[in-house]
Amino acid sequence: MTSAPETGAETIAEPLRIGDVIVDPPLVLGPMAGTTDRTYRLLCRRAGAGLVCSEMVSINAIVQGNARTLRMLRTFDGEHPVSVQLFGSEPAIMADALPVAEEAGADIIDINMGCAVPKVRRVDAGVALMADPAQAAALTAAAVRVARVPVTVKIRAGLVPGDESYVDLARGLQDAGAAAVAIHARTASQGFRGEADRRHIARVVEALDVPVIGNGDVTEPADAPRMMRATGCAAVMIARGAWGRPWVFGQARAALRGAPIPPDPLPDQRMAIALLHAQMLVLEFGERIAMHQMRAQMHNYVRGLPDARRFRSAVNDLSTLAQLRALVEEYLASIREDLQARGHGDTSAGADCG
């Protein structure tokens, strides 16, 4: 560890190595269905994430050649390193599906063992694998056998509160060849309720030789070094905290280095990032699907800005990118006066997304 001259604070931003993949800084965009497609991953990577994860992709659908699923595997040149998350339970299917994800550009293959939604449980995948450690290890071993890239696994802190079997499960996954384990510090039964309990992360760190990625409730940049110090984890994964806020990675990177945390981008810059996101989504999915997704994303992009409620209700009626652009322009003009009155002056200068 070295001292950062700006503040005298310690830096804990050592890059993480997963196999041959360098994760620098040790900050990971967590997988989120409906959000972490390659457009948002690219934004987060450029804003400072060291690794970005795809949303979960079905191995059964990959081997069936489902066109929509295969599209989900696509990566952009600028987003590497990228981890592609797969879900399923059958080792033979994993062995057939994994090379397809590698071919599409995955630098890491992650296996989902933390999701409890019906479409995942139906195929005995996600958290169902936490209840069946032998199957979880067999699936991981099958992936490791065929993979040319490192294989990681994302788990939860047990099925129900008090269930500490996740520590043995994580050891079993390591023995099966997992190159790292990410743990969301909530039990499966908790869903997203209650607080993530970081002691679970510390327990897995203590038990494993491979790196552990800590996850759960990192919402502010300073939470990242706090989680690393409290648990000894090798990297921090941010999921919901990055919603409509890719710049959180640049801020968390500064916090890990003990450097001053850059302020949030000013409204014009935020909106420029949001519109870039919207435009990429239109290219990716077409305008109808893109605008549907963007309506939810815009709610996050305006978080903390004046008059956000009015903007959010107006955004719900949008169906085209041109309408979104017009609404953003009108909104920025209307809040400019308000921000000047509050002493923020120019709404167009200031921090950079990068």
Ligand X SMILES: Cc1cc2nc3c(=O)[nH]c(=O)nc-3n(C[C@H](O)[C@H](O)[C@H](O)COP(=O)(O)O)c2cc1C
Which sequence positions are flagged as catalytic?
115
Cα–Cα distance between 114 and 180 in angstroms, integer? 15
* Residues 38 and 284: beta-carbon distance below 8 Å: yes
Looking at beta carbons only, is 50 or 267 nearer to ligand X?
50
Looking at beta carbons only, is 85 or 297 nearer to ligand X?
85
Q: Residues with Cβ < 8 Å from 67, sequence gap 6 or more?
A: none
Among 67-75, 197-205, 212-220, 252-260, which window interacts with ligand X (CB under 6 A)?
A: 212-220
Instruction: State yes or no: residue 236 binds ligand X (CB under 6 A).
Output: no
Instruction: State yes or no: residue 56 binds ligand X (CB under 6 A).
Output: yes
Query: Per residue, what are the HEC states of 227-257?
Result: HHHHHCCCEEEECHHHCCCCCHHHHHHHHHH
Looking at beta carbons only, is 120 or 280 nearer to ligand X?
120
* Residues 16 and 262: beta-carbon distance below 8 Å: no
Among 60-68, 128-136, 233-241, 298-306, which window interacts with ligand X (CB under 6 A)?
A: 233-241
Instruction: State yes or no: residue 246 binds ligand X (CB under 6 A).
Output: no
Which residue in the set 4, 9, 22, 32 belongs to the binding site for ligand X (CB under 6 A)? Answer: 32
Which residue in the set 111, 173, 239, 290 belongs to the binding site for ligand X (CB under 6 A)? Answer: 239
Instruction: State yes or no: residue 240 binds ligand X (CB under 6 A).
Output: yes
Looking at beta carbons only, is 138 or 227 nearer to ligand X?
227
Residue of 126, 207, 224, 193 whose CA lies nearest to 165: 207
Q: Nearest distance from residue 322's CB to ligand X, in Å?
A: 28
Which residue in the set 125, 213, 218, 298 belongs to the binding site for ligand X (CB under 6 A)? Answer: 218
Among 24-32, 88-96, 289-297, 327-335, which window interacts with ligand X (CB under 6 A)?
A: 24-32
Q: Nearest distance from residue 113's CB to ligand X, in Å?
A: 8
Residues 116-155 touching ligand X, rule: CB under 6 A, are 154
As to burial, measured by CB atoms within 10 angstroms (0-12 exposed, 13-18 middle, 19+ buried), residue 192 is exposed
Give me the DSSP letters along 106-152: -SEEEEEES---HHHHTTT-THHHHT-HHHHHHHHHHHHHH-SS-EE
Residue 249 corresponds to which tokens in the numbers above?
């990675």
Q: Nearest distance from residue 123's CB to ligand X, in Å?
A: 14
* Residues 212 and 153: beta-carbon distance below 8 Å: no
Instruction: State yes or no: residue 238 binds ligand X (CB under 6 A).
Output: yes
Residues 90-119 touching ligand X, rule: CB under 6 A, are 112, 114-115
Q: What share of the chain is helix, strand, coil (3-state, %, to 5)?
A: 45, 15, 40
Cα–Cα distance between 189 and 350 in angstroms, integer? 43
Q: Nearest distance from residue 271's CB to ligand X, in Å?
A: 23
Residues lying near ligand X in the complex (CB under 6 A): 30-34, 55-56, 85, 112, 114-115, 154, 184, 215-218, 238-241
